Amino acid sequence: MEVLHKFRALLVENTDKLAYTIGEENGKTISDAKGEISRAIESVDFALGAPHLLKGEHSVNVGGEINSYSMHKPLGVVTCIAPFNFPVMVPVAMSTMAVAVGNAMILKPSEKVPFSAHILSELWAEAGLPAGVWNVVNGDKEAVDALLTNEDVMAVSFVGSTKVAEAIYEKGTKHHKRVQAFGGGKNNMIIMPDADIDTAVNSFLGAAYGAASQRCMAISSAIPVGEKTAEAFVSKLKEKVEELKIGKFDDQDADFGPLISAEAKAGVVKAIDEAIEEGAVLTVDGRNPRVENEDGFYLAPTLLDHVTPSMKIYKEEVFGPARIVVRVNTLEEAIDLVNAHEYGNGVTIFTDSGKAARTFTDGIEVGMVGVNVPIPIPVGYHNFGGWKRSRFGEGQMFGPDTVRFFTKTKTVSERWLDTEYNESKTDFTFPSS
């Protein structure tokens, strides 16, 4: 635990350096990068509780002077395949508990953001972690395939798109790995008629457009209930969206930065164009932004209204600042709409009604649920993960599931015989208490 304590202190001490590196290679603003690092530190805080979490169960005298107890053992070599959008938070969240419970970790960072991972390696070494316990392998699909097929790798944890998550799950399990693969999402915010519209609008702005919408938990769709709610929400949201500023990562006035690549930008523009062709109403157009003295893959925030569930932009995850409004008449219609989607990552509702909130939380079929919170991502000591095609494989990230995923359980049934003990006969019946 001494190494973990030192690693945590070094993360705090090097926050500015890490944030600047994240900004340089990912494009997110410095303030957003610092928020990511704060979440990473939260994961270390949870991992510091590993000695308590590793305690097994113990039952005394379960039968015939027999005691039963369990213990959690490390798997051995495990790997984390991390995405570009969280170069520090995801590697730290996945790897810290893996190391704390006794495994050796191989991190394969996204080839788009390799430098943050190397800083983390330096911090682990400075903290005193023995050489070979935390390792970094750079590369693309070839490196991933090597890890998935290597017989020494016992478990694989992945975060990325649903298409890749499913492929990694299938290949990893084929080669007898324990796999958890977190995919994409189409996260919704339901706005009830009794909600405070200003609060809902401000919450949607940050949750939907922060980090240029390159978050697996970014809010993709606003679902206002009732036409009056929709008109009030869209009217105020349009004004706020038009005021958002894009810029370089170290521009303190910028709300968010560029997209990660030219391909990413082209994909978002294509999604906007197709939505307009299908009948969506372009309320705010961000396809041709003006950014002074800056080259980069910039897109200004775009807002599309009157989107229907049959449109491609509603069905598919759009990893960029093109957000949509889907209008419904009732809460039940909103819940059915969310439940029918193939993704089940996150959803939130804004309401002042306890009854509506309870109906929503009980009836929604999504892994991470919020009530009057912008992004329903849990804190580091609760489990994180979606349902349906947003997650493949075993367990969830963060929380107690992390311990279960990176360990295997051994159960011992134990009896100490007295010197005078003598079994008078052989028993062929199945043992019971």
**Does the pLDDT of residue 119 top 90, yes or no?**
yes
How confident is the model over 372-399, as pLDDT tens digits?
Answer: 999 988 887 777 787 899 888 987 878 8
**Does the pLDDT of residue 269 top 80, yes or no?**
yes
Q: Which residue has the tokens 């490196």?
A: 143
How confident is the model over 8-41, as pLDDT tens digits?
Answer: 999 999 999 999 999 999 999 999 999 999 999 9
Q: How far is CA 402 from CA 50, 64, 103, 277, 382, in A?
A: 10, 36, 12, 44, 10
Q: How confident is the model at residue 61, as a pLDDT?
A: 86
Q: How confident is the model at residue 249, as a pLDDT?
A: 93
How confident is the model over 315-367, as pLDDT tens digits?
Answer: 999 999 999 999 999 999 999 999 999 998 899 999 999 999 999 999 999 98
Q: Token pair of 282, please?
A: 């372009």
> Phi and psi of 407, rounded to 5°?
-135, 165
**Does the pLDDT of residue 233 top 80, yes or no?**
yes
Mean pLDDT of 55-82: 91
Burial status of residue 302 (CB atoms within 10 A of its CB: 0-12, 13-18, 19 or more): buried
Query: Using CA atoms in the order 170, 175, 178, 181, what is the torsion angle rounded to 10 degrees?
Result: -30
CATH class belonging to 2-183+390-412 = alpha beta
**Does the pLDDT of residue 293 top 70, yes or no?**
no
CA distance linking residue 75 with residue 15, whole number of Å: 31
Q: How confident is the model at residue 422 (pLDDT cuts 50, 70, 90)?
A: low
Closest CA to 338 of 361, 358, 305: 361
Q: How confident is the model at residue 295, as a pLDDT?
A: 81
Q: How confident is the model at residue 312, as a pLDDT?
A: 97
What percentage of the chain carries pLDDT values higher than 90? 82
Q: How confident is the model at residue 421, as a pLDDT?
A: 58
**Does the pLDDT of residue 146 top 80, yes or no?**
yes
Mean pLDDT of 200-227: 95
Q: How confident is the model at residue 401 (pLDDT cuts 50, 70, 90)?
A: confident
Q: How confident is the model at residue 205, as a pLDDT?
A: 96
**Does the pLDDT of residue 298 top 90, yes or no?**
yes
Contact call for residues 412 and 104 (beta carbons, < 8 A): no
Q: Where are the alpha helices (DSSP H) in 186-304?
A: 197-209, 227-243, 262-278
Q: How confident is the model at residue 291, as a pLDDT?
A: 83
Q: How confident is the model at residue 290 (pLDDT cuts 50, 70, 90)?
A: confident
* CA end-to-end distance (rounded Å), the chain: 39
Pick the residue with more confidence: 175 or 397? 175
Q: How confident is the model at residue 433, as a pLDDT?
A: 61
**Does the pLDDT of residue 287 top 80, yes or no?**
yes
| Average pLDDT for the chain | 93
**What stretch(es) of the chain map to CATH 3.40.605.10?**
2-183+390-412
* Positive or negative: CA dihedral 224, 230, 234, 235: negative
Helix (H) or strand (E) holding 353: none
**Does the pLDDT of residue 65 top 90, yes or no?**
no
Widest CA span of the chain, in angstroms?
92
Among the listed residues 179, 208, 216, 280, the single catalytic one is: 216
Q: How confident is the model at residue 382, as a pLDDT?
A: 79
Q: How confident is the model at residue 171, as a pLDDT?
A: 96
Burial status of residue 47 (CB atoms within 10 A of its CB: 0-12, 13-18, 19 or more): buried
Q: How confident is the model at residue 91, as a pLDDT?
A: 95
Helix (H) or strand (E) holding 70: strand 66-74
Asked about 80 being catalytic, the answer comes back as no
Q: How confident is the model at residue 423, as a pLDDT?
A: 62
Q: Token pair of 112, please?
A: 């788009």
Contact call for residues 168 and 141 (beta carbons, < 8 A): no
**What stretch(es) of the chain map to CATH 3.40.309.10?**
187-371
Is the domain 187-371 a CATH 3.40.50.2000 member?
no
Mean pLDDT of 199-214: 96
Mean pLDDT of 394-418: 87
What percentage of the chain carries pLDDT values higher than 70? 97
Q: How confident is the model at residue 419, as a pLDDT?
A: 58
Q: How confident is the model at residue 380, as a pLDDT?
A: 76
Mean pLDDT of 76-91: 96
